[in-house]
Amino acid sequence: MTNKKSDCQDPLEVIGRAKGYSRKELIMNLPRHSKFAFNLIQQVEKIPEEFLRNSGSPMAKKFIRIMREISLESYRAMQFTRTEINNRGVLYGVVSLKHRVMDRVLHYFHGRWPQCVICLYNEYNGQTGIINEKGTIRELKLPLKEVVEKMSENRPDITYFEDIKFSGEKLFKTLYNSQNIIERENPRYFKKMIPDYCYKLPGMKNGVEKRNKSRNKKLNEFL
């Protein structure tokens, strides 16, 4: 019974080596790499699937490295790109992508703000990628400012975040309280998370305020 079950399973999964990519995945994604050459696809088509998916084979290691470089660049752009939004519902920012992953990044931002037009300027090749509300993508060899102005034409005036009315004092108190967790005091981390400018404010010039000193008690205080 056990042997019959293992026969139905992927043999690479059984021995714990199925960490590579399938032929279909490689053919779809290898062309995204900036140093892609067509002979890579020819190699993929000739090599047996078992070798492609076996992370122990030299060729699979090469393909895994290439695929990882592609994924890492798109992930960084998704997580660390700073964006702004204007009153016409156009969200824009700057990225630096040497691999062909602009569509991945645009789809990510489109998923988060489907009601917006997304414009991302790629410093690497000087093109601006655009995705509209319908998910249609195009790239223009134009500066970001010019594209944003063009996309903003004939769009209605949309005021975002109009319900959020925080004063500077309230914003700072919210940030301060989120970092100053008395039960888990960590002065080094606290100083790292609070902006340096805040230490020039009254009550912060000498470091963490005395009134926010840890209230944790030592064991011998209970004896």
Choice between 218 and 48, residue whose per-residue pLDDT is larger: 48
- pLDDT bin (cut points 50, 70, 90) of residue 67 is very high
Side by side, the strands of the sheet bearing 117-122 are 83-85, 90-95, 117-122, 127-131, 137-140
- For residues 187 and 208, the answer to whether their CB atoms sit within 8 Å is yes
- For residues 106 and 120, the answer to whether their CB atoms sit within 8 Å is yes
What's the pLDDT at 70? 95
What's the pLDDT at 172? 66
Choice between 187 and 71, residue whose per-residue pLDDT is larger: 71
Helix extents (H) in the chain: 2-8, 11-14, 23-29, 38-46, 49-53, 58-80, 102-112, 144-152, 168-179, 187-193
What's the pLDDT at 201? 58
Residue 100 predicted with pLDDT over 50: yes
Choice between 24 and 215, residue whose per-residue pLDDT is larger: 24
Instruction: Share the mean pLDDT of the chain.
Output: 79
Closest CA to 127 of 150, 98, 152: 98
What's the pLDDT at 58? 82
Give residue-wise pLDDT tens across range 154-204. Answer: 888 876 656 555 556 666 677 667 766 666 677 777 667 666 666 665 555
Q: Supply φ then ψ for residue 128, to 5 degrees.
A: -110, 120
For the chain, the structural domain boundaries read 2-78, 81-152, 168-213
Give residue-wise pLDDT tens across range 27-64. Answer: 999 999 999 998 889 988 988 888 888 777 788 888 88
- For residues 97 and 69, the answer to whether their CB atoms sit within 8 Å is no
